[in-house]
Structure formats: C-alpha cells, structure tokens
Amino acid sequence: MQKFSAFSLARQALGRHLGWQPQWRSVAPKPSYDIIIVGGGGHGLGAAYYLAKQHGLRNIAVVERGWLAGGNTARNTTIIRSNYLFEQSSSYYEHALKLWEGLSDELNYNVMFSQRGCLMIAHNVHDVQVFKRHVYANRLNGIDNEWLTPEQVKAFCPPLNISPNIRYPVLGGALQRRAGTARHDAVAWGYARAASDLGVDIIENCEVTGIDRDASGRVTGVQTTRGPIRAGKVGVSAAGHSSVVMAMAGIRLPLQVNPLQALVSEPVKPAFPCVVMSNTIHAYISQSDKGEMVIGAGTDSYVSYTQRGGLHIPAHTLEAICELVPDFRRLRMLRSWGGITDNTPDRSPITAKTSVPGLYVNCGWGTGGFKATPGAANLFAWTIARDEPHPINAPFTIERFREGTLIDEAAAAAVAH
C-alpha cells in the first residue's frame, strides 16, 4: 500500500500524478473463505479491516451487491456524536468517537474528521427537561456534554436566531464539543484500502442471493450472482436490507425500514461553525468542507425500501430552518436524496451472534449508523472472531426484544421515527 504524506504528494506531483496505485485490489471471488462479510459499506469494510488487523485473520472477503459504499454510507449527513442517554448506548458511541479521533492516523488516510461540536437546541419545556437529563446522564458516564443558555447558544453559533417571537424559540441547548463530522466516502475508502493491504478480498457487484447451511444448521457459505462461495462464518452488515439477507437463513429481524431524506445547498464561504440539531423541528444542519449546507430531515412515516420520500418532509424542515437561520433564506438547494433506515422497536442497534451457528449480524442503526462506524466495525469484528460479544455490545442482542431488556433511545436519535 502506498503511504500518503506531504513527501509522497510532492513526489507524485513531479511525476504528473501518474504513479498512483489503485486504492484497493479488484479481485474475483475465490471458492472459499474463512469469513465473508455481506455489505461493503463503512461497517462491513471496517469489520473486515479489524478482523485482519486485530485478530490476525486474513482469508476474508467483503461482498457488495453494487459499488463500494454506495448505500447508506454514501447517503448520510456525516454527523458524529456520543451523547446518547443510556449507559449502554453512550458507551457504544463513545467507543466509536474515541476511534474516530485517531482514525486518519490508523488508516493513513484523511477521513476529514472535524470536531466542530454538536449543539442540540431546545424549543420548549419538554426539550429543556430531556436535554438536561441527557447532559447529567452523560456526565455521570464520563462523556462531555454541557447545557447552554440562549445567549451562550448564540455566542457558540452566531447565525442562529434566538428571538423569543419566532415559531420555534431557542430556550437553550446541549453541546458536545468533541462531536463533529467526517467525510463519508473517505471513511469507506480508507477502510477498503487498509483491509485490502492486509489481504482482504473486496468484491463489488456481487449480490448475495442465498445463505447455505449444512444438516446441523450451521452456515457453510453464500450463494451470489457470481456463483457460490463457501465460508465458515458469515457476518451480515447490510443496513436497510439486513432483514432481507437474514431471512435467507430463516431469521426474522425486528426491523422496520423507512426512507430518510437529506439535501444540500449551493456552496458558500464558511458561515456555519458547528452541527445544529433540533428534535422538535426534525432537522439538523452543518456545513461541508465544500461549503454546502448539509441538511437532514425526519423520516417518512411509511415503510419502504425506496431511496426517496415525500416532498412535504424537507419542505417543513426548510421552513423551520429559514426561521432559525434567516441568513439561509436566499440559499438555493442543489440536490436532495434519500436513504433507507433500519429501525428497531427501541431505536438501538443489534450487533450480535445469532441462533444460526456461524452467522452474525450488525444492523438496526436507524439514523445513527455513520457516527458509530469505527466502533460498530471494531465490536462486530470481535464478535465474529471470538464467537462472543465484547462487553460493550453484549446488551445489543436480538433476544432483548423477547426478554424485554430494551434500550430505548428514540429521544436521542434527534429525528422523527
């Protein structure tokens, strides 16, 4: 793997940039692997990397039905934070946030992680009570979070309108200063590049059509559009399509899939210093490194696998944002898109082994998948390699929905589920 540095960049510039190598190897599938990861997004690629890097396993393949990271990894709004309410959740996301802080050095790839802070603003008494509860719970768990008055909110994010006469007045906000954003495709490419260098095969345009099992019920491989591939273990990390893949092995997941829309404005000079989120409005906004305002809305209420949604959802979001940030009223929206969120009943993920020997699943992330990328990948790799969960992801089983040990994080998701 070519190392990236200022010196390598200068050297390639002198050679008219003709010496760069492909970022990862393009290979045909082998007849068999020790482990197959289904899903070539950030979670799947990261799991393959950690299996190779930390657990010494090399005979691994990542199979992706389309192009690399073309699903939810490419369709999210890149927000990273760990200020979730319950200890189980905040420990999981804090594990991810700590990995984010050193990920560029780990992968020798700039994932453009920017700790610009995440401000969750309150518009009513209920919001104030909920966010203060989050602040206190986070502090008890050793996670940074602080309450700001409306004047402090304005000082931290000057474009916000804190007038008491607007439809959604700002009564305060909860600020996690270590939160921020990263570049979604850089994360996937960085993991793919590093995993490939460790011997992992990355196979694009290879859709899984079936999961093979022997007479005892153990997984023996997968059927794909490029032929059968044998494997001792299979890990499924297919986001909104996880339930479809898992059904091939006879496992029914407690997931509901809803479209989630986002959009970006025309690029402008730096004008918005942080990430701002609003539960009441169901909106969140940050400015990308290209200058675009990246805006997320709430989920559509209907169940669908389509990557688009109703126009009224972003329209409502933009109406409220124009009132909260009056300077943005003259911005033109460039494009919009949708992703499909896989939501569990308690809005917390599943990262676990299953009742089928040799089959593992990482799903149910809803709107929180991107922020958890390195943490989920790291813990999923541990679970697959050791056939047991890490203490951090041990509570996030499928069985909790039968046992009633739910981890209800609907209020922390910051969009309408």
CATH 1.10.10.60 for domain 115-179+256-343, yes or no, is no
Q: How many C-beta neighbours within 10 Å does residue 200 have?
A: 29
Length of the chain, in residues: 417
> Sorting pLDDT into bands at 50, 70 and 90, what band is 200?
very high
pLDDT of 355 above 80: yes
CA end-to-end span of the chain: 42
Name the β-bridge partners of 27. none
The mean predicted confidence, pLDDT, of the chain is 94
- In single-letter form, the type of residue at position 268 comes to V
Nearest to 132 by CA among 151, 145, 116: 145
pLDDT at position 415: 53
pLDDT of 95 above 90: yes
pLDDT of 413 above 90: no
DSSP 29-70: PPSEEEEEEE--SHHHHHHHHHHHHHH----EEEE-SSSTT-
Name the E strands within 101-218.
118-122, 146-148, 172-176, 180-181, 201-203, 208-213
pLDDT of 281 above 90: no
pLDDT at position 417: 36
Apex CA 98: angle with CA 350 and CA 183, to 5°?
80
Helix/strand/coil percent split, the chain, to 5? 30, 25, 45
Nearest to 66 by CA among 231, 397, 280, 307: 307
Apex CA 70: angle with CA 68 and CA 73, to 5°?
100
CA distances to 178, 190, 236 from 145, in Å: 9, 30, 33
pLDDT at position 410: 80
> Sorting pLDDT into bands at 50, 70 and 90, what band is 270?
very high
Question: 24-43: buried (b, 16+ CB within 10 Å) or exposed (e) per residue?
Answer: beeeebeeebebbbbbbbbb
pLDDT per residue as tens digits for the range 282-340: 889 999 999 999 999 888 888 998 888 889 999 999 998 999 999 999 999 999 999 99
Backbone angles phi, psi at 103, to 5 degrees: -70, -40
pLDDT per residue as tens digits for the range 3-38: 899 999 999 999 999 999 899 999 999 999 999 999
pLDDT > 90 fraction of the chain, expressed in percent and rounded: 88
Asked whether the beta carbons of 253 and 402 are under 8 A apart, the reply is no
pLDDT at position 280: 87
pLDDT at position 411: 63
Nearest to 349 by CA among 278, 406, 296: 406
pLDDT at position 322: 92
Burial class (CB in 10 A: 0-12, 13-18, 19+), 268: middle
What pTM did the predictor assign?
0.95
pLDDT at position 416: 41
- Residue indicated by tokens 């560029």: 104
pLDDT > 70 fraction of the chain, expressed in percent and rounded: 98
Q: Which two tokens stand for residue 364?
A: 């149910």
H-helix segments, 141-213: 150-156, 184-197
